Amino acid sequence: MKQKWMLVALALLALVALPLVGCKNDSVSEPVRYTVTFNTNGGSAVDAQTVESGKTATPPPLLTLPERATSLLAGTVMNS
């Protein structure tokens, strides 16, 4: 009688364990990618970037003013 219950227990264990072993997923999925665009509000165009999920986009370079605009700004006097 004890052997009968032992066989039943082993059969139940096999029924539960075999489907779990068969669920292994060996496929490699492609990483999720996003396209990052920049709104320059009418300024110089900035190229879009493709960034993988979890990664950081590279910020666009800072705008440098032409020499003339810089000298005009430097010569501006504030009225008190």
pLDDT of residue 19: 66
pLDDT of residue 71: 53
Under 8 Å between Cβ of 58 and 46: no
In the chain (80 residues long), the average pLDDT of successive 10-residue segments reads 79 71 70 91 86 91 58 56
pLDDT of residue 22: 62
